[in-house]
A and B are shown apart, each in its own frame.
Chain A
Amino acid sequence: MKALVWHGKKDIRYETVPDPEIEEPRDAIIKVTACAICGSDLHLFHNMIPGMEPGDVVGHEFMGEVIEVGPENKALRKGDRIVVPFTIICGECDQCRRGNFSVCERSNRNKDVADKIFGHRTAGLFGYTHLTGGYQGGQAEYVRIPFADKTHVKIPDGLSDEQVLFLGDIFPTGWQAAIQCDIEPTDTVAIWGAGPVGQMAIRSAILLGAKQVVAIDNLPERLSMAAAGGAITINFDDESVIERLNELTDGKGPEKCIDAVGMEAHATATLDSVYDRVKQAAMLETDRPHVLREMIYVCRPAGILSIPGVYAGLIDKLPFGMLMNKGLTVRTGQTHVNRWTSELLSLIADGQIDPSFVITHRGDLADGPDMYRMFENKQDSCIKVVLRP
């Protein structure tokens, strides 16, 4: 079959790889009908996440039709249409039973390495590093789904691929980011990053009843989409984020802050981002925590920092004293996708939201390598790419 295959920094190729096969009795194989490129894929594209190997099939936002089912998988049948959550779940371990799906204790097949590196293992993820199991991803014609009897969201007839595709990652990710904020009707929620995750977080914060949602980015087309969803926008090229946020909150600062940017935050006009670029380039720190610093500084004391943005390793000069003394709560993690999917599927089915608003580019799987470049460079006002194998 054909798939998008990682070969190294900036090197993703559309090429032929072996077809997947049923390996475990709970598996299923799906024929992918739609897949997307995520901001997390860009971290892989930039070789910022340790533990990738040349030959890995990438992609963790995908859906399709079940074409083969393992003998012990009683939940799925040939012909079922499913969205696949990017976190692989066994559904039975302590963490899965608590709904902490992204830290499932059994789905990561490289458990021993993960235990050593992270202290304790986290869940298996599709199309991501070998520290999370090294499972082949969904930017492909066919995918093997491990623990498929639990790792799926069944899609009822009548909803299009594009309406439901994002249930596998960015919609629940934006939603969890907002949920983690324990939003109250008096809250201002400030969201850094108006990429696909930021866009979903904006809509979620509105649906959850925030008084004010503020979106921060420097890409005008993304800010226009943020405003469409009900956000006040700040372009950090044109104005001071801190001053404007304080202005919007009577000098008190936003109660809730969401980092939907992650480890590759752009340099703003401040010195600290230059410092981080240099340190990162010299391999003295792995992540650029510019947004984290800004959030800690501007957040209202006793507020919440919700961090869906991905970080990989070490950061430097994090003002932990400020965080401690202000009494801020930090909530983060890969998304517990299946904790939210039935609720979000109903919102979509009820017509309360159509997440396909975020799609700006469509192509064939073969266009994948070019689309990665376009998404990376934010060319042609690209926000979200959907590929069809």
Chain B
Amino acid sequence: MNQLHHDDGGTRGSLTSADRIARSLGWLSIGLGVAELAAPRLLARSLGLEGKERLIRAYGAREMVSGVGALSANPAPAIWSRAGGDALDLATLARGLKADGGRRRNVGIAMAAVAGIAAIDIACASMLTAQNRRPKTGGLRDYSGRSGFPQPPEAMRGKAARVAAQPSAVMPQMQPA
């Protein structure tokens, strides 16, 4: 059969830009999480946070959890939690500002990066929340007129009831071939 229908060439999809951003943020979280879990000492040294290795490792675990959540069917809570995590990261990094010259620069760069990502997290989380929102009460439709029956349900009760003597509908007899 050849083209049955002339197509207008348009493609429409269900994936929104917020979904795409959430997915990238999820992978970013997982990448960061792996780094924080695997090399906390290296990170601590370059950011002037010596002695905070366990904290960094805990942050790594947090990133992994948000990452997996952000890649799930409902990413909004994980992205909000990432936004919260960004604030924690900034607070922790700020301590590194007391470090000496070179490392202080590292900390500055890291803080700028986190602040930038935080802005994306917040924007993405708000978009996700908005696109999934449904009214709690106001604006809900009332379907109490939709019974599907010709008469009130009370009058329909048992209209198709099985006669007890019938063989079980669940296990019908085998029919001849």
A residues with CB within 8 A of B: 1-2, 7, 9-16, 19-21, 29, 31, 45-48, 68, 92, 94, 97-99, 141-142, 179-180, 182-183, 185, 199, 203-204, 206-210, 220-222, 224-225, 227-230, 264, 280-283, 331, 339, 347, 351-358, 360, 366, 368-370, 372-373, 377-381, 383
Contacts and interface: CB of A to CB of B under 8 A. Distances in A.
A14 B73 contact: no
Q: Helix, strand, loop or mixed for chain B's interface?
A: loop
Given A185-B161, A373-B131, A229 B15 contact: no
B72 A281 contact: yes
Contact of A206 (B4, B11, B157): B157
B1 A68 contact: yes
Contact of B146 (A15, A20, A358): A358
Interface stretch (B27-35, B88-96, B119-127, B162-170): B162-170
Contacts of B9: 16
B159 A352 contact: yes
Interface in B92-134: 131-134
B149 A14 contact: no
B1 A29 contact: yes
Given A141-B4, A182-B170, A229-B147, 17 more contacts: A2-B5, A10-B19, A19-B3, A31-B4, A92-B177, A97-B174, A206-B157, A207-B160, A222-B143, A228-B145, A230-B149, A230-B157, A281-B72, A347-B160, A352-B159, A368-B12, A373-B16
B177 A208 contact: no
A343 B87 CA distance: 62
Contact of A229 (B2, B148, B169, B176): B148
Contacts, number: 180
Given A20-B1, A383-B143, A14 B11 contact: yes
Nearest to B154: A230
A38 to B, nearest CB: 16
Contact of B143 (A99, A203, A207, A225): A225
A380 B135 CA distance: 8
Q: Determine chain A's interface SS by DSSP, over half rule.
A: mixed
B51 interface: no
B160 A352 contact: yes
Nearest to A181: B170
Contacts of B157: 206-207, 209-210, 230
Contacts of A141: 4-5
20 contacts: A10-B15, A12-B14, A13-B11, A141-B4, A179-B170, A203-B148, A203-B149, A207-B156, A207-B161, A220-B137, A220-B140, A228-B144, A228-B147, A230-B157, A281-B68, A358-B148, A369-B13, A379-B133, A381-B140, A383-B143
Contacts of A97: 174-177
Given A48-B73, A357-B147, A19 B141 contact: no
A94 B3 CA distance: 39
Given A10-B14, A209-B158, A230-B156, A355 B148 contact: yes
Q: Which of B11, B132, B137, B146 has the most CB of A within 10 A?
A: B146
A12 B1 contact: no
B80 to A, nearest CB: 15
Nearest to A377: B132
A358 B149 CA distance: 12
